Every structure is written in structure tokens, then in C-alpha cells.
Amino acid sequence: MRALLVANPAATTTSARTRDVLIHALASEMKLEAVTTEYRGHARDLGRRAVENGVDLVVALGGDGTVNEVVNGLLHEGPDPDRLPRLAVVPGGSTNVFARALGLPNDAVEATGALLDALREHRERTVGLGLAAGAPGTEDESVPARWFTFCAGFGFDAGVVGRVEQQRERGKRSTHALYVRQLMRQFWEEPNRRHGTVTLERPGADPVTDLVLSIVCNTSPWTYLGNRPLYASPEASFDTALDVLALSRLSTPAVARYAAQLLTSTPERGPHGKHAVSLHDLTDFTLHSKVPLPFQMDGDHLGLRTSVRFTGVRRALRVIV
């Protein structure tokens, strides 16, 4: 088996020594090329090269951002599970939502052992993914399409992600406490939290208007707070299309209520109530905003958008589990 290991040297929870141990373990089982990323987008370029070179397996060692880049490289010409290299993930970030949602250990060494066992036992699954692009007929029409593995956000939560990235660029560590602090700052400074600007449009249904927060989920849980899973859309699955949790108000009482519901959410029940909208298994829909809003995919802030078109693609990529 020919394999490519794409390792992010800035991954939060792995050291150079750990990477060397993992590379040695993987190289003992396969013909392995290991490459350390050197710039933003490098993992995407390496994934694309792996397809062109006919590699059998691509292993992403890093956080959700590294995985996202690798996936976008692999699917540069579109999904084709039977032709494309398989993907394996060794978690090295602070949260590792995609890897944990697949049921992998949240430890790089343990996950490597699980990966090797899965390869010996030929365990894999084909997962669905989300695709986001600029909506036709809008000022964002020319924005390139991009794949996401577990979630996207338009509005409030993307603003939180953007604040966290700014803090990380200033040298702060990516911790759950950092996310909580930036969430509170985003809440108090959010200009549209009482009167939302987002409209969700989908074929065959009336528009859903005046949304403040829109979370698009490709799997469940949505994220983790430490070891606690948070279920924004409990029915979301790698085997279906996309789910949406949207809120039309973020007043102080509403935030307190929905935050409590998220913290106590389960695989059977997520946030609910008068100002909450939950939609399941959507293949095609668009989010439009009256004003530019922050947009994020897989925890990566992508700037401001006014319109995003989403597509849920079933059976997009084979993953070692």
C-alpha cells in the first residue's frame, strides 16, 4: 500500500517526537511518504497531488483544519469514492471533532493503533460531506466551492471562530476557555442578536426568515466542550445530507436557555423552543443575509459573506475507521 502522511507541525497536541513515533509505526506497515505542511493550503495541495499520483491512502495528522484541507485536495475534481484514495485521520488538534465523530480515540498514539488495526481488518466506511459555495445571482457567486466534514456556520458562531483565530494569531493557545471568553464577547457586541438578518431558502418550502444564528451540521455531535459532546442537531449523520439548527433571537434569556440545552444535549434531544428551527437531511438550501456576516467551515473562519449555497453529498469519500 502506498500512503501519504500529511502532518501539521503546529498541531496543538502533538510534538515532533510524537510525530516521529507515529511515522515509524505507520512506515512499518506500508510504503509511506511523510510531508510536513509549510503554509496555509499546503495540506490541500498535498491531497490533490496524492490523487494525481495514484496514492492508496492519505493520513491526516493534525486538527480539523488539516483534515478539511486534505479533504478539499482529495475532492478537487469532485467525489468518486471508488477512485479516490482513502482517508485516515490521526487527531492532533485541540478538539478533533471529525475524528471523534467517526469513533476514533482522541489521542494520537491510540488513534494510530486503531488505524493500523482497521487497515489489517479492512474496516472503512463511505461518508457524506457538505459543500458550500457562493449563491448564483449574488455578489458572492464567484466564491469557490469548498467541502466541509462536520459543520459550517453563518453568523454568530462564525464570529466566535473569527475572534478565536485572532487571539491565536496573537500567540494565545487554543483552549476551551478561550472559546468561552470569545463567545461572551461576541454576544455582547453582536449587533443583530435581537433582529436576525438571515433567510433560509430551500426547494418546495416557505423561507425561514430573521435568523441570527445558523449552524449547518454534517454529523453529530456538533462539537465538544472538553470531553462533553454538544448536540446541535442530534439527527445529523455521515449517512444523510445536512441538518440545520437556526435561532431567530439571541436575547440574554434566550442565550441562557439555549446554552443550557446545548450543555445538557443528548443524541436524542438538542436545543428546542419558540425561537429555534431544526431541519433534517437537507440536500440543497441557501442562506442569504441582508448584511455581510462571518462564515466558518470546520472551525476555519473564511471572512464575510452575504449568501452561501449548501449541498449535502452522500457517499463522498471512503474513510478508515
The pTM for the full model equals: 0.92
Report pLDDT for 162. 82
Which residues, other chains included, contact 239 with Cβ-Cβ below 8 Å and sequence gap of 6+? Answer: 127, 128, 314
Rounded to an integer, what is the distance from CA 98 to the centroid of its chain?
7
Q: Residues near 259 by Cβ (< 8 Å), separated by ≥ 6?
A: none
d(CA 226, CA 113): 23
DSSP 3-state assignment of 14? coil
Which residues 6+ apart lie within 8 Å of 99 measured at CB?
A: 67, 89, 90, 91, 106, 111
Burial of 1 (0-12, 13-18, 19+ CB in 10 A): exposed
20-73 per-position pLDDT tens digit: 888 999 999 999 999 999 999 999 999 999 999 999 999 999 999 999 999 999
pLDDT band with cut points at 50, 70 and 90 for residue 174: low
User: Phi and psi at residue 106, in whole multiples of 5°?
Assistant: -90, 40
CA torsion through residues 98, 152, 47, 8, sign: negative
Question: What number is the average pLDDT over the span 111-134?
Answer: 96
Q: What is the pLDDT of residue 13?
A: 78
Mean pLDDT of 175-182: 74
Q: How confident is the model at residue 312 (pLDDT cuts 50, 70, 90)?
A: very high
- The per-residue pLDDT for 56 is 97
